[in-house]
Structure 1
Amino acid sequence: METSDSNGDADESLEPDVVVDFESVGVADEETLARLRTVSFYLDEAFEIPGTNYRIGLDPILGLVPGVGDATAAALSAYILVEAAMLGVPRATLARMLGNVVLDATVGSLPVVGDVFDAAWKANARNVRLLEARYDDASPAAVEADRRFLLAAVAAIALLLVALGAATALVALWVLGQVGLL
């Protein structure tokens, strides 16, 4: 079926000009690793504390924003996990990386103490180091299993974060009711 544009000319087809097959393009693992190093740098080491040689990143700074800050940092940390699974990192390494993220998100959600922990723990830098050490170790058969494992783990973390948010809202409503404001 031919269509005409505003000039009355008939288009021969409605197919796209270019179709990109990302598998054949071969986005190099080194490019992915470089991108993950950059994400890790910004989350864990982007700023030097004046007068010291110690660096912190956006992770502890985002943690200062109540509610959404820690969830945003955890989502960015999960991005590193997803990319690690796509690179074929072994399941045991993914589990360690997930443990780093869960610990960072859990302790990091505590007011003030969690932000100090985030600045010291640097889960993203740890995870990128684990990734660099292990990403060649996965057998091709294990890659799909690792992806399923990661999907289940990310879903579990998301459900946990939703449950924590709901519990916080319910406690706040209860306190407001006890005070007489509801």
Structure 2
Amino acid sequence: MGDDRLEALARRAAAGDAAALNELLAAIRPNVLRRCARFLPCFQDAEEACQDALLQVARTIDRFEGRSLFTTWLYVVVANSARQTYRSLKRRAVEQAHEAPQLDRPDPRTTSVIAGSRLDFLDALERLEARRPDLVAPLVLRDVCQLDYAEIAGHLGIPVGTVKSRIHQARTDLREYLLPLG
């Protein structure tokens, strides 16, 4: 489905058109799942984040005002859903470890370099968010969602120079979290 068609569906859905919302959700689902999988290495976890993101879109589409592209708005929803799913999975894992002996579920960090890198990245994002929450959104929108600087600036309502500065600072800080001490 073309971007113009998707934008038109989003505007109609935001205005309360239920049929447009259903069509929009069906159209974006594959892309949402693909983007969630960029964050979460386990397919089931990516599916969970995808469902959460689609539910969030359905619940909050009336807040989409069309000031930025729908796809930009969607990427923010997807990134937040994937990160929330990761936090929830971590919390559940800690709770299960206290309640029952460890099951034979392998740690993705030891079985896959890619999966381990993604989890390390999510952990580093959490650390960055605790210290500098203003740096997380620009970084995620640029490096994960692959939006251009102007789109990010428009969505966040800040100048392009500020976006670039925050992304640079976020990358510098993340490097500290991701590189082993030597």
* TM-based fold match above 0.5: no
**Which structure shows the higher strand fraction?**
1
Using the size of structure 1 for normalisation, the TM-score is: 0.29
* Larger Rg over CA atoms: 1
**Which structure shows the higher helix fraction?**
2
Using the size of structure 2 for normalisation, the TM-score is: 0.29
